[in-house]
Amino acid sequence: MLYHLFKWLQETYHIPGAGLFQYSSFRAGAAVILSLIISLIIGRRIIKGLQRLQIGETVRDLGLQGENLKVGTPTMGGIIIIAATLIPCLLLARLDNVYIILMIVATVWMATIGFIDDYIKVFKKDKKGLKGIFKILGQVGLGLIVGITMLVNDEVVVRMEPTVAAEQGYEVMNSVFVKEGENTYKELVHVKAPITNVPFFKDNELDYSRVLWFLGDNAAGLVWIVFLIMTIFVITAVSNGANLTDGLDGLAAGVSAVVVAALGVLAFLSGNSVAADYLNILYIPYTGELVIFSACLLGGCIGFIWYNVFPARVFMGDTGSLTLGGIIAALAIILRKELLIPILCGVFLIENVSVIMQVWYFKYTKKKYGEGRRIFKMAPLHHHYQKLGYHEVTISVRFWIVQILLAILTIITLKIR
């Protein structure tokens, strides 16, 4: 909103300083500060409101250290993150950018699913919350929204050389001329291409139609099926991973903040032609605006940690965790970095895997030996360490450190091939 306002003021009245809002770096910095301030200001009021409504954590009786301290702590605090993300995004981002629109839709979509889940748990006194099938349907719905938009919207393009586009048979949307030297220009084209970045490979690109190599010439016409399946899978997996990680004070918010910061860096690199050319990665026009969205979400997560750090004054609930996972997955898909998810979201992945392993091994041993056995003392993994006697602050901070290392590794994979 402010971008468009100050652009009009600069073009019409030539007001000094109005041009600052044309720079994404300025708006990203302002977004972090503004979202942090918003989360700190509204956080206190939201917490008091939740307390008045008696929206608190119930006794879980899982035998975990310090469990009783959480009784009565307000939940549904993900509202703080969502508000602190959307408000500065609406103010500072370009609202005519397809990626910004898509991320706003993704945020509202997942927030609605999470809110309904928390509402059923808190007000309907049903600990199971929203039925799993409806959660999955919501995640599939978001996957379809993101996937179909990327397939059909004319602004969702990749820039490449004309010869490469012609060889691969990609649909060319338009061409641009990029300055190479003092008096020389290079022609590049914007194409609709089902390609993504692949870590550790020299060419660093994968065309999804290669997955259907056995169909020969028909692969190109059916590649949309593979892309949609991949989109749905990533969104479902990451959203559930974030949901499972939300079990200790500050854990999910801290891990998410690190992931979002890394995605902000990737958005800058992918949306900057000079950086993308230097790193020899896909240049995706218009994605630079996602730096502002990432900055908004980062500030919101940090502001939420202010109230969520041990001893937590509020929990994010599924309103926050499902939304964070959905947003992170959507960002990675839009930036065509979904194949980096196992590294970038390594903490979410191991939390997911620990639950799958625990359930599978319990059922396997019960069938084979007549009694169920466990790999971990408790799943997800962070509860295993609680059972070993580690304080939850220690566990959360160490998981943050692991996530920081994974984020750094994710970024340097752009050069490791």
Does residue 57 have a pLDDT over 60? no
Q: Residue 67's pLDDT band (boundaries 50, 70, 90)? A: low
Q: Which two tokens stand for residue 406?
A: 């994974």
Confidence of residue 63 (pLDDT cuts 50, 70, 90): low
Instruction: Tell me which H or E stretch contains 378.
Output: none
What's the CA angle centered on 266, arms 82 and 1, to 5 degrees?
45
Asked if 107 and 90 sit in the same domain, the reply is yes
User: Max alpha carbon distance in the chain (Å)?
Assistant: 80
pLDDT at 4: 79
What pLDDT is recorded for position 159? 92
Domain boundary among 144, 166, 192: 192
> Is residue 17 a part of any domain in this protein?
no
Selected residue with higher pLDDT from 219 and 345: 345
Same domain, 236 and 107: yes
CB 76 within 8 A of CB 118: yes
How does strand 205-207 pair with strand 195-197? Answer: antiparallel
- Residue-wise pLDDT for 356-386, tens only, equals 999 999 999 999 998 999 999 999 999 999 9
Strands 185-192 and 171-179: antiparallel
Q: Do both 272 and 315 map to the same domain?
A: yes
Please give the Cα distance from 83 to 80 (Å, whole number). 5
Give domain status of residue 77, yes or no: yes
Q: What local confidence, expressed as pLDDT, does residue 68 receive?
A: 62
Q: How far apart are CA 237 and CA 348, in angstroms?
A: 9
Indicate whether 297 and 391 sit together in one domain.
Answer: yes
pLDDT of 17 above 80: no
Per-residue confidence (pLDDT) for residue 69, from 0 to 100: 63
The CA distance from 329 to 243, in Å, is 13
* Strand-strand pairing, 185-192 and 158-160: antiparallel
**What integer is the mean pLDDT of 257-266?**
97
Task: Tell the burial category of 272 from Cβ atoms under 10 Å away from its Cβ (0-12, 13-18, 19+).
Answer: middle
Q: What per-residue confidence (pLDDT) applies to 308?
A: 95
Overall pTM surpassing 0.85 (yes/no): yes
User: Where is average pLDDT lowest: 37-41, 56-60, 115-119, 412-416?
Assistant: 56-60
β-partners of residue 188 are 176
Residue 12, domain member (yes or no): no
The 3-state DSSP class for residue 389 equals coil
For residues 245-264, average pLDDT: 96
Structure confidence by residue, pLDDT tens digits, 315-347: 999 999 999 999 999 999 999 999 999 999 999
**Three-class secondary structure of residue 158 per DSSP:** strand
Residue 380 contacts residue 395 (beta carbons within 8 Å): no
- Whose tokens are 């929204």? That residue is 145
Are residues 364 and 388 both part of a single domain?
Answer: yes
Residue 21 belongs to a domain = no
Q: Given pLDDT bands bounded at 50, 70 and 90, which one contains residue 416?
A: confident
Give tens-digit pLDDT for 86-138: 999 999 999 999 999 999 999 999 999 999 999 998 888 888 889 989 999 99
* Judgement on whether residues 322 and 384 belong to the same structural domain of the protein: yes
pLDDT of 62 above 70 = no
Instruction: Tell me the pLDDT of the chain averaged across its residues.
Output: 90
Q: Same domain, yes or no, for 187 and 205?
A: no
Q: How many domains does the chain divide into?
A: 2
Q: Which of 83, 76, 93, 87 is nearest to 26 (CA)?
A: 93
Q: For 33-37, 262-266, 277-281, which range has the lowest pLDDT when averaged over its residues? A: 277-281
Percent of the chain with pLDDT over 90: 67
One domain for residues 215 and 305: yes
Note whether 392 and 249 are same-domain residues.
yes
64 has pLDDT over 80: no
In a domain, 99, yes or no: yes
Can you tell me whether residue 33 is helix, strand or coil?
helix
**Roughly what angle, to the nearest 10 degrees, separates helices 290-308 and 78-92?**
150
Same domain, 109 and 133: yes
Query: 214 and 77, same structural domain?
Result: yes
With respect to residue 97, please indicate whether it lies within any of the assigned structural domains.
yes
The closest of 411, 402, 391, 403 to 69, measured between CA atoms, is: 391
Average pLDDT on 248-272 reads: 96
What is the spatial distance between Cα 239 and Cα 333, in angstroms, rounded to a whole number? 13
What is the span of the domain harbouring residue 238? 26-152+198-412
Q: Between 234 and 273, where is the model more confident?
A: 234
When mean pLDDT is compared over 4-8, 191-195, 240-244, 410-414, the highest value belongs to 240-244
Question: Is residue 67 included in any domain, yes or no?
Answer: yes
pLDDT at 219 over 80: no
- Are 164 and 299 contained in the same domain? no
368 belongs to a structural domain: yes
If pLDDT is split at 50, 70 and 90, which confidence band does 65 have? Answer: low
What are the tens digits of pLDDT across the range 160-176?
889 888 888 888 988 98
